[in-house]
Structure 1
């Protein structure tokens, strides 16, 4: 659940910026950098191996003008048909390699993690916008490793089980509220996923859709989106351009930077300070932050690693504002579009639960079709189609190609998930692709097909720490909603289903466009069980 910045680093959309003196300066600098870079690479490539193949670019500009302004992963997948497992690009002297296959990503980012685990710099976001605390975009080093160790002890598979009661309770509360407020499903989804991570991270209880911390996270992510794709602005290419007056980038640019700074403060500094104050007063509920502070408090009362603690907990917080929320929304869109899949999943739930109770995590292994739905939801609409870029810290060679130091590597997660050789008819939502049936009709998950979970959550030393909590949240939410409701499309004047738009809003995280749906109770008995669970939660 750790936030992913899907980044097409150094990818320009020339429509976004007017041709100006700044671009002229940038072009001159790029020319000098490119010439110096080319000469240095000739010295460091003694075997004179080729750079990975890619589309032919222009002198100095390289492939800058060939980059599509949106949905770059689709173009990258088309290029992969011509150039194979890797596509080599150069943009204003910067080397970018698109990894088009799972095997290439594993070979480099996982097996050679010592070389490929760092991140490119995002000067606009980090230096000018104040988002320098994120473990997701931090370079590989002690700051990253300290946060990683802090998070891992609370989000490894064993530790995650301790949160099952919280996750289950919030999934049931979401389902209960949808009975009367189904038209607010996206807002309620955001609230309850946020409530889960806020309780785990800070011991803070969210009770309302308009909770200030949930809204702060939402506004912070919106502020991050307004500056564009991380790495794509000219300031990210040449940080010295950030010293020029902000107005040259447009009338809203300065306000967007201020909103970015405010967002960073609201999701990192504010919740840490408020929770720390409650802890010192002895009023705080147990949480990851309270335990980290206790572990890092010296006998004289000073707290060590405060920046790392505030950053680590903020990443948990931010995750609840976006990635898992988007994936649950995608599940609902899939059920509206493929009602037959919904009916098949409900059949398995009914055969197991008999209407006597709601699903729990103890049922997980007995409901393979639901697990397949989770996998297909992740595959069908990847929440971060290009993941977060890696960068190499030394020269390397792979499959006969030379990969220079400081090259940026992007995994085309969308392309891997839409590879028709692995997933036939990839545009279709089809959980059956992950299942096999034995001689007596019992279903089980296949082990001979690539699991989208191994693609979506990153690679190597950058694998998402919150993976197990995210998957648990998805599974119990899906199981609970399908147990209690038929998720139905609204009807038009002629009584026909109004299907949702399958085009997504792409940015830092991909989200479905606004959609409408109806949550129709499946039976009074199931609703009764949901009410009982809600009453038990309220009195806990």
Structure 2
């Protein structure tokens, strides 16, 4: 029975592929030309040629052969690969009215997410309502209201690093998690064993796998969705994964509701509380289940990318001590240095309000995102109408993949693209320079956050999290290359990338210690934070 169904499915797919091929050829004739691309196999196309691990490396190699825009066939999916910032903006931003949808892969969009996850929703009323909620609660007008949370968590991050620098990956993950969990749900993540964080990470890993085109056969051959559940184990798996994530997202919201009713001050300024107070502003398209997913995926989308980018920043500082020294000098000039008697001299900690006076710091963060983008392979867009670009015919329903790794290594925009050069953002001789330096460089609408109407809505919160953690680490810590027992320097491999959805460096060694007097100052400031929390808690209980 199953074999017969598979044979019928393959025959139908072959017929569909033949029809699509003839249709595209007839349309392309009118448009003058078809997009180039590597030859694939019958039925599966280029599916087996695209590696599951670090696919952007292969995509970059094909770009060298076929140009900055070319096509792939993955089963019945037509995919455009874009390796140019200009082309990405021409299509995804300037023609955003037809390039702002998402591919609805059956395993992730339907079976796991039930068409609720914003990142996978088609462009339409439901997506726009969720985007309105994101803009109202973490957008540019409100992102600054969370700075006190980010500064507190940056203090705790430095204490963690000074205590156990070799566990930097776990510290960065806890830092990023606690910031966004406090902002959205009023939940303080004290360590990586927090079960809410463990469950959130599992949800993210499951949906990433479900959204990989070649991970489940149903994503490549959607007609398999017609199989009855008893013949389709992927349907049973999807139902289980959906139940797990819906339970997590809904329970976190219900917890905030319960705490808000008794006047808990830790939830009064959360994103969830703001949604609860303004539910009528978003119309019928934003149902409660949809809102649970909008809120939950704010956390889901930020933890891995922020922590990975922090690890790349640390790697850059280890590999380039001369950049670190320059950054340290800038911070000391603006912030000041502790004297011999900390209590008498009253030195202050870095604050986000110092950013206008720290152009080199901002340049280092922006260069980190360019040099090592965490979403290296890019996020898929889908067009909702036929189009012609540079004489090439683009069929309706094509997937468009802007490959950030390759885009960020374009030598015409980024001379010496493989080098870590913060100066490219500050020196007028580079094409990326902008003035005034009190404002530029910044991360607003930078390609590392995506393109067009699908650009990351959390970019304003994320940029502050990256800036304050870098500021605090460099101001408080001395970072140097590790040495073996004989004093030989152990330089990390700059190109060693860990496998996963988010690109991040493989674990590397380095030496980190507190700069003179600053460990005591950080500890004192953290004690004051804890004291304020105790006071607020007692006031609430009273």
Aligned to 1:407: 398
Which residue does 1:277 correspond to in 2?
258
Are the aligned partners of 1:422 and 1:449 in contact in 2 as well (CA < 8 Å)? no
**3-state SS in 1 of match to 2:15:** helix
Structure 2 CA distance, aligned partners of 1:83 and 1:397? 18
Correspondence 1:371 to 2:362: yes
The answer as to 2:452 corresponding to 1:460 is yes
Among 296, 299, 303, which residue is 1:314 paired with?
296
Partner of residue 354 from structure 1, selected from 319, 326, 336: 336
What residue is the counterpart of 1:14 in the other structure?
Answer: none
Distance in structure 2 (CA, Å) of the matches to 1:187 and 1:246: 40
1:204 positional shift: 2.0
Among 31, 34, 40, the residue aligned to 2:17: 34
Summarize the Cα distance change of 1:446–1:160 in structure 2 as closer, same or farther, 3 Å threshold: closer
Aligned to 2:75: 92
2:384 corresponds to: 393
Counting only pairs closer than 5 Å after superposition, residues 460-539 of structure 1 correspond to structure 2 as 460-501=452-493, 502-524=495-517, 526-539=518-531
1:337 aligns with 2:329: no
Q: CA deviation at 1:183?
A: 2.6
- The answer (yes or no) to whether the contact 1:226–1:256 under 8 Å persists in 2 is no
Determine if the alignment matches structure 1 residue 434 to structure 2 residue 407.
no
> 477-486 vs 379-388, which deviates more?
379-388
The separation in 1 between residues aligned to 2:263 and 2:5, in whole angstroms, is 54
* 1:463-489 CA distance string (max 9 Å, x none): 110111111110110010000001234
Matched, 1:76 2:59: yes
Find 1:138's aligned residue among 94, 97, 121. Answer: 121
| Cα distance in 2 for residues equivalent to 1:216 and 1:160 | 26
- 1:325 equivalent to 2:291? Answer no
- Partner of 1:327, secondary structure, is helix
1:409 is paired with a residue whose SS is: strand
Deviations 1:439-474 (A, max 9, x none): xxxx97599999896211111110110111111110
Q: Secondary structure at the match of 1:140?
A: coil
Secondary structure of 1:96's aligned partner: strand
Query: Which digits, 9 at most, give the CA deviation of each residue in 1:382-423, with x for residues without a partner?
Result: 101122101111111111111110011000111011122322
The offset of 1:186, in angstroms, is: 1.5
Whole-angstrom CA distance in 2 between matches of 1:320 and 1:498? 31
In the alignment, the residues of structure 1 paired with residue 4 and residue 33 of structure 2 have an alpha-carbon distance, to the nearest angstrom, of 35
Q: Is the 8 A contact 1:372 1:445 kept in 2?
A: no
Secondary structure of 2:529 counterpart: helix
Cα distance change, pair 344–229 in 1 and its aligned pair in 2 (3 A): same
Q: Is the 8 A contact 1:521 1:527 kept in 2?
A: yes
Once the two structures are superposed, the pairs formed by residues 58-73 of structure 1 within 5 Å of their partners are 58-73=41-56
Whole-angstrom distance in 1 between the partners of 2:5 and 2:330: 61
Q: 1:93 to 1:317 in 2, by over 3 A?
A: closer
Task: Kindly indicate which of the two structures has a greater share of residues assigned to helix.
Answer: 2
Provide the C-alpha distance between the structure 1 equivalents of 2:63 and 2:286, rounded to a whole number of angstroms.
Answer: 48
Residues 445 and 248 of structure 1: CA distance in aligned 2, closer, same or farther (over 3 Å): farther
Matches within 5 A, 1:118-267: 118-130=101-113, 132-225=115-208, 229-230=212-213, 232-242=215-225, 260-261=241-242, 264-265=245-246, 267=248
Q: Indicate the structure whose relative CO is greater, using CA pairs within 8 Å and at least 6 residues apart.
A: 1
CA 1:488/1:24 → structure 2, altered by over 3 Å: closer, same or farther?
A: farther
Q: 1:45 to 1:436 in 2, by over 3 A?
A: closer
Query: What SS class does the counterpart of residue 520 from structure 1 fall into?
Result: strand
SS in structure 2 of the partner of residue 158 of structure 1 = coil
Structure 1 length-normalised TM: 0.86
Contact 1:202 1:289 in 2 (8 A): yes
Q: 1:309 to 1:225 in 2, by over 3 A?
A: closer
Q: Distance in 1 between matches of 2:391 and 2:22?
A: 21
Work out whether residues 56 and 63 of structure 1, in 8 Å CA contact, stay in contact via their aligned partners in 2.
Answer: yes
CA contact (8 A) 2:173 2:303 kept: yes
CA distance in 2, matches of 1:415, 1:452: 20
**Cα distance, 1:43 vs structure 2:** 6.0
- Higher mean C-alpha displacement, 345-354 vs 470-479: 345-354
- Find the aligned partners of 1:30 and 1:296 in 2 and give their Cα distance: 44
Distance 2:443 2:352 in 1: 20
Cα 1:484/1:266, change in 2 over 3 Å: farther
Gaps (5+ residues) in structure 1? 1-19
The structure-2 alpha-carbon separation of the partners of 1:349 and 1:135, relative to structure 1 and needing over 3 Å to count, comes to: same
TM-score normalised to the size of structure 2? 0.85
Structure 2 portions without partners, runs of 5+: 338-346, 430-434, 533-542
Count how many residue pairs are aligned between Structure 1 and Structure 2: 511
Rounded to whole Å, the distance in 1 between the matches of 2:512 and 2:228 is 51
Query: Is the Cα–Cα contact under 8 Å of residues 87 and 97 in structure 1 kept in the other structure?
Result: yes
Distance in 1 (CA, whole Å) between partners of 2:392 and 2:374 is 31
Structure 2 CA distance for aligned equivalents of residues 115 and 142 of structure 1: 15
Verify the 8 A CA contact 1:296 1:303 in the aligned structure 2. Answer: no
Q: What SS class does the counterpart of residue 539 from structure 1 fall into?
A: helix
